[in-house]
């Protein structure tokens, strides 16, 4: 492989990137080698083969993963994604990011993540249900309210979480809602959970705008990915007076310099399964991360901003709604260009925060109204943003390094207090 190709492949490796982000913060904290090794490595990685009867009568074997990165601050917490490109390395990286995400917003969870190599777009509802139940049954020794609590992620949803609740409950011979979060309201879900990640993006953007003295009202916003996170973020920012000037998803991209009608666009996407063809905007083919705007919200997949395109980013604020959208090489370029990046482990932590609230409500058997959930979310995320900003200013580092420093310090403190069992 040519050197340039090898370098690019290394830059796009999510596990390598998670490690680089950790190491930079750990170096700043002067962590002892032993402690560094303990908290950097995943505690457990599980690979399962999942035989599933298909609708045509054949038997197909899928590969599933579950990684627990850390449980020192509480049960492992993290979503399950269904995607053809899921790998163990990707799941390990995402599990590590979940550890730091939970720590930076200071909720009592560790980090976990799961995935199944499959293409749900090519599977029937029955096939997806059988696959989900087999995965939940094979990993029922890992899952549990006190040990490992999954949630939705890419290509998974409330219905899949409900199937996991039922499968786990049947094995345990009792109904247990707290085994997963992101459930339907009727199955122990929390009010406000669906909007939580996008709402958390809004809270972080508000704080960043205040810090930079950039009014959110009138600010031009571009959103990459118009699924749950992107659409909710766009809607809430538009309600605060921002102009959503460009939106993209896997079907295409639309723009309107005066601002898109977000409510109408959301309805269009619901009916047409994508933004392509939306009559309220003009189609365009320029990569959306390169659109001229004040605030860029990458809310799609990993590795969208790399050293190949970072110098073409024209936003003043990058609010990472997705996990790992910016590579470490790109981070340095953005910092040199004065771009204020709100890192994923802070910016999109609203989802896991309300997942924590859901877990708490399940265990109490008492549920809060949506207004209270939203207030509690703001009370968690605003101090988290300010803690990270203070660390950034104190150590003269970017927000990502600062977020990792805050998170690592919290994990190390718990390990120091608990000690290491031997």
**Cα–Cα–Cα angle for 46, 48, 50, nearest 5°?**
155
DSSP H stretches of helix in 213-322: 228-239, 262-272
Tokens of 8: 């690019």
| Residue whose C-alpha is closest to residue 151's, from 75, 89, 90, 225 | 75
Rounded to whole angstroms, the Cα distance separating 375 from 82 reads: 32
Rounded to whole angstroms, the Cα distance separating 407 from 102 reads: 8
Environment class of 126 (CB within 10 Å of its CB; exposed 0-12, middle 13-18, buried 19+): exposed
Torsional sign, CA 386, 381, 351, 292: negative
Query: Within a 10 A sphere around the Cβ of 212, how many other Cβ atoms?
Result: 12
| 228 labeled binding residue | yes
| 197 labeled binding residue | yes
- Of the residues 113, 282, 391, 396, only one is catalytic, namely 113
| 101 labeled binding residue | yes
Collect all residues with Cβ–Cβ distance below 8 Å to 138 and sequence separation of at least 6: 48, 50, 64
CA distances from 347 to 5, 102, 208 (A): 31, 12, 11
Rounded to whole angstroms, the Cα distance separating 106 from 355 reads: 13
Rounded to whole angstroms, the Cα distance separating 299 from 234 reads: 10
Length of the chain: 422
CA distances from 383 to 104, 106, 204, 387, 400 (A): 10, 10, 10, 6, 16
Can 391 be counted among the known catalytic residues? no
Is the distance from CB of 285 to CB of 263 less than 8 angstroms? no
| 30 labeled binding residue | no
Is the distance from CB of 406 to CB of 104 less than 8 angstroms? yes
State phi, psi for 128 to the nearest 5 degrees: -65, -40
| 355 labeled binding residue | yes
Helix H or strand E encompassing 50 = strand 44-53
DSSP 61-115: EEEEEEEEEE-TTSSEEEEEEEETT--HHHHHHHHHHHHHHHHHTT-S-EEEEEE
Binding residues for NAD(+): 197, 228
Binding residues: 77, 101, 197, 228, 355
Which residues participate in catalysis according to the annotation? 113
Binding residues for substrate: 77, 101, 355
């Amino acid at each position: 492989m040519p050197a340039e190709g090898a370098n690019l492949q290394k830059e796009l490796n999510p596990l390598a990137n998670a490690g680089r982000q950790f190491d930079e913060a750990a170096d700043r904290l002067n962590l002892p080698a032993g402690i560094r090794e303990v908290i950097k490595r995943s505690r457990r990685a599980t690979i399962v083969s999942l035989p599933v009867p298909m609708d045509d009568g054949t038997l197909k074997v899928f590969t599933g993963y579950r990684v627990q990165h850390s449980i020192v601050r509480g049960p492992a917490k993290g979503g399950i994604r269904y995607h053809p490109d899921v790998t163990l390395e990707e799941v390990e990286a995402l599990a590590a990011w979940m550890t730091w995400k939970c720590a930076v917003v200071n909720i009592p969870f560790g980090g976990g993540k799961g995935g199944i190599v499959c293409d749900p777009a090519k599977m029937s509802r029955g096939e997806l249900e059988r696959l989900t139940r087999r995965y939940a049954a094979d990993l029922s020794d890992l899952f549990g309210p006190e040990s490992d609590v999954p949630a939705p992620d890419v290509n998974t949803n409330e219905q899949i979480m409900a199937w996991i609740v039922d499968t786990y409950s049947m094995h345990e011979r009792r109904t247990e809602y707290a085994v997963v979060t992101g459930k339907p309201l009727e199955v122990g879900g929390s009010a406000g959970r669906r909007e939580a990640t996008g709402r958390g993006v809004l809270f972080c953007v508000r704080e960043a705008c205040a810090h930079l003295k950039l009014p959110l009202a009138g600010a031009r916003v571009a959103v990459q990915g118009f699924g749950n996170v992107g659409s909710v973020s766009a809607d809430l920012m538009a309600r605060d007076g921002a102009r959503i000037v460009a939106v993209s998803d896997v079907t295409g991209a639309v723009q309107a310099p005066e601002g898109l009608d977000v409510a109408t666009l959301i309805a269009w996407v619901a009916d047409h399964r994508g933004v392509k063809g939306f009559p309220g905007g003009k189609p365009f083919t320029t990569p959306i991360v390169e659109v001229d705007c004040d605030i860029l919200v990458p809310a799609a997949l990993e590795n969208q901003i790399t050293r190949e395109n970072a110098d073409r980013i024209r936003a003043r604020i990058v609010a990472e709604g997705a996990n790992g959208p910016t590579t470490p090489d790109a981070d340095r370029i953005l910092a040199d260009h004065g771009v204020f990046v709100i890192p994923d482990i802070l910016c999109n932590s609203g989802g896991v925060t309300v997942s924590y609230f859901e877990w708490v409500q399940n265990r109490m058997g008492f549920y809060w109204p949506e207004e209270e959930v939203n207030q509690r979310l703001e009370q968690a995320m605003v101090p988290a943003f300010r803690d990270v900003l203070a660390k950034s200013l104190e150590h003269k580092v970017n927000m990502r390094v600062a977020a990792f420093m805050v998170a690592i310090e919290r994990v190390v403190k718990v390990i120091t207090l608990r000690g290491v069992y031997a």
